[in-house]
Amino acid sequence: MDLNLKSFFKKIKTDILEKQKNDPQFIENQSHWVKCPSCEALMFFKEVENLNHVCPKCNFHMRIGAKKRIDLLADEGSFVEFDSELHPTDPLSFVDSKSYQKRLEEALHKTGKTSSVVSGECTIDGIAVQLVVFDFSFLGGSLGSVEGEKIVRACNRAIEKRQGVIIISASGGARMQESTFSLMQMAKTSAALRKLDNEGLPFISILTDPTFGGVSASFAFLGDIIMAEPGALIGFAGARVIKQTIGKDLPDGFQKSEFLLEHGSIDMVTQRSEMKQTLHDLLKLFYKDAVA
């Protein structure tokens, strides 16, 4: 890895963490109003927050970050993050309207993260699992070399510790700035999950809004159980691209989780408020045969 880029990440991450403690722009304003992206209803922030960022008017599941997702699912104080020291490189010196390095710098300033994936170990109602969570706020949750490596390491830890793996996807797909290096992660993660399967250990895939591209074309649809949140957009290409390609109108809501459930592409659609209990019940069934 380029030493200048590595030292940059280290310095900026330290600055971001300090800024989060003191800068008001990083402190959630609990007195403001928010508008539902779906029904456009205005709601008090605390009301939405108390409902796990689900609209009380139309049940729209708003996007949430990795930290909120972990807090929602993991037992309090149980989550231990791994591989946070991994940082992306720029092997192709890629430049489009901006350089890849510049985009990484901006994503770091925006999120305080160096990757779109947070991975670690936790317990869910007392059951130990490896948990991998995508965060869409970092470069659209795109899958790059670091993200793929974190998933593989999570699978390896699961095999070593005889645990299951849960991956929560929220991604626009493979990261184009890494080109083939990114596309390789599709095969790399799929191979790691095959090893997990050969060990008789469970993989539960949770699809959230949105899950597209190389993520949906690889590990996201390899779960023993594939779950999704209500209303999540899931697919490979976007609806506009598909329509332009085939020249036909598409069914209403054909890329939403409910449509996929109806047509047998996923196993269940689960409310965010019920996700932790559902995972616990599934893990008990799997662990009875695979771990006990």
Domain assignments of the chain as residue spans, ordered by start? 64-290
Task: Give dist(CA 239, CA 253) in Å, integer.
Answer: 10
Residue 102's pLDDT is 96
Instruction: Supply the pLDDT for residue 29.
Output: 47
Rounded alpha-carbon distances, angstroms, from residue 291 to 116, 160, 163, 194: 30, 12, 7, 17
Query: Looking at residue 278, what is its pLDDT?
Result: 97
Q: What is the pLDDT of residue 249?
A: 86
* Residue 248 contacts residue 94 (beta carbons within 8 Å): no
Topology adopted by domain 64-290: 2-enoyl-CoA Hydratase; Chain A, domain 1 (3.90.226)
pLDDT averages per 10-residue partition of the chain, 292 residues: 61 56 43 85 89 94 96 98 95 94 95 96 97 97 98 98 97 96 98 97 97 97 98 93 90 94 97 97 80 44
Report pLDDT for 15.
61
Cβ atoms of 139 and 150 within 8 Å: the answer is no
Q: What is the largest CA-CA distance in the chain?
A: 53
pLDDT of 6: 65
Please report the pLDDT score of residue 60 as a whole number.
95
> Is the sign of the CA dihedral 239, 240, 243, 245 positive or negative?
negative
**Position 288: which residue type?**
K
What is the pLDDT, as a whole number, of residue 26? 38
| Model confidence, pTM | 0.88
Q: Does residue 45 contact residue 34 with C-beta atoms inside 8 Å?
A: yes
Amino acid at 24: P
